[in-house]
Homo-oligomer: A and B are copies of this chain.
Amino acid sequence: MKLASLKSSGRDGSLVVVSKDLTRMASAASVAQTLQQAIETWESSASALKKISELVEQNEIETMAYDVDQLASPLPRSYQWADGSAYLSHMRLVRKARGADMPPGAETDPLMYQGGGDYFLAPTDDIPCIDVDWGLDFEGEIAVVTDDVPIGCSTEAAVGHIKLIMLCNDVSLRNVMKPELVKGFGFYQSKPASAFSPVCVTPDELGEYWTGAKVTLPLETVYNGRTFGRVPAGNDLNFDFAQLIAHAAKTRELRAGTIIGSGTVSNTDHERVGSSCLAEKRMIEIIADGRAETRFMEPGDTVRFEMHDPSGQSVFGAIDQKVVAA
């Protein structure tokens, strides 16, 4: 099933069930007011939400038109947004651009940082640009939402804790990042609010394109109206979501509503499939030509992330954002 959160007067939105073809949606208030409430009671709420989803498909429940501008991120805020860097080809390029070495054990020990979850941008919200010199960039990612995960959860058990899947634009400030990471405490100022796709889906919704705790469809990135990347999300993924969850839960529990991100979707075959962030393209240019042609984002630039199944159906709806001067 597909779920979303209507913007509301509250900070957590109002939970709705969305039709599989993304044309209609129905209130889920009879089950849970918010997605956070639903994920905290998933064992009972999932089946009740599934019933609403079936009624939506059968046109046997009152629905309203799907309108992406009325939707917040599925979790408009989250108690935990932990983002991995699971595509090593992205890490190799971006670290080269920053002049940083690959970390020891990168192939066996996932990188993960704690992101800010106190608010997320809506999928069509403008991205505020405070200072163009901060090097505003987008990062197209896959993310999952978990229920309660115990300490020491194995990769095998982690699969069952993945309840929802969505896309993410992990907005990044590249020129703030380098001096910030030198300080050794990780990202803070360099990672302002992220945005997520209008719709999140249960794993079964992806059918054969959800295998072994990863999505195999290509992530499409359109930058200023042109295709920028069409990167198969199942290729060159060094750590799947089960491995990322097991890493995150090694020393503590993860509580329901935790979002785990894949990091920028990236393939080594980037000449053919493109990229999911500007930093990669810039580094590829530097390696090829000695200098970066592509600049970072400025007011007026637009970016769109979407994923279609082979029948042409958009799975998660589109993140579609414009940069505006703040």
Please judge, given known A-B contacts A151-B326, A182-B104, whether A188 and B254 are in contact too, CB under 8 Å: no
Task: Indicate which residue in B114, B119, B152 contacts A255 across the interface (CB closer than 8 Å).
Answer: B119
Please judge, given known A-B contacts A114-B115, A118-B79, whether A247 and B189 are in contact too, CB under 8 Å: yes
**Does any Cβ of B come within 8 Å of A164's Cβ?**
no
**Does any Cβ of B come within 8 Å of A181's Cβ?**
yes
**Residues B112 and A185 in contact, CB atoms below 8 Å apart:** yes
Shortest CB distance A192–B (Å): 4
For A119, the chain B residues whose CB sits under 8 A away are 79, 253, 255
**Does any Cβ of B come within 8 Å of A231's Cβ?**
no
Please judge, given known A-B contacts A134-B251, A185-B85, A250-B189, whether A116 and B114 are in contact too, CB under 8 Å: yes
For A232, the chain B residues whose CB sits under 8 A away are none
**Interface bin, chain A:** 35 or more
Main secondary structure of the interface of A (DSSP, over half): loop
For A192, the chain B residues whose CB sits under 8 A away are 251-252
**What mask results when residues 99 to 115 of chain A are scored 1 for a CB within 8 Å of chain B, else 0?**
01001111001011111
Compute how far the CA of A77 lies from the CA of B40 in the bound complex, rounded to whole angstroms. 14
**Does any Cβ of B come within 8 Å of A11's Cβ?**
yes
Please judge, given known A-B contacts A80-B118, A181-B184, A188-B82, whether A251 and B130 are in contact too, CB under 8 Å: yes
**Residues A188 and B113 in contact, CB atoms below 8 Å apart:** yes
For A252, the chain B residues whose CB sits under 8 A away are 116, 192-193
Shortest CB distance A194–B (Å): 10
Residue of B nearest to A117 (CB): B79
**What mask results when residues 151 to 190 of chain A are scored 1 for a CB within 8 Å of chain B, else 0?**
1100000000000000000000100100101111111111
**Does any Cβ of B come within 8 Å of A78's Cβ?**
yes
Compute how far the CA of A85 lies from the CA of B109 in the bound complex, rounded to whole angstroms. 26
**Does any Cβ of B come within 8 Å of A258's Cβ?**
yes
Shortest CB distance A238–B (Å): 14
Task: Indicate which residue in B79, B152, B173, B183 contacts A79 across the interface (CB closer than 8 Å).
Answer: B79
For A85, the chain B residues whose CB sits under 8 A away are 185
**Does any Cβ of B come within 8 Å of A283's Cβ?**
no
Compute how far the CA of A80 lies from the CA of B326 in the bound complex, rounded to whole angstroms. 23
Please judge, given known A-B contacts A103-B182, A182-B104, A183-B109, whether A248 and B188 are in contact too, CB under 8 Å: yes
Residue of B nearest to A257 (CB): B118
**Does any Cβ of B come within 8 Å of A299's Cβ?**
no
For A103, the chain B residues whose CB sits under 8 A away are 182-184
Compute how far the CA of A40 lies from the CA of B11 in the bound complex, rounded to whole angstroms. 9
Task: Indicate which residue in B112, B113, B117, B255 contacts A80 across the interface (CB closer than 8 Å).
Answer: B117
**Residues A111 and B183 in contact, CB atoms below 8 Å apart:** yes
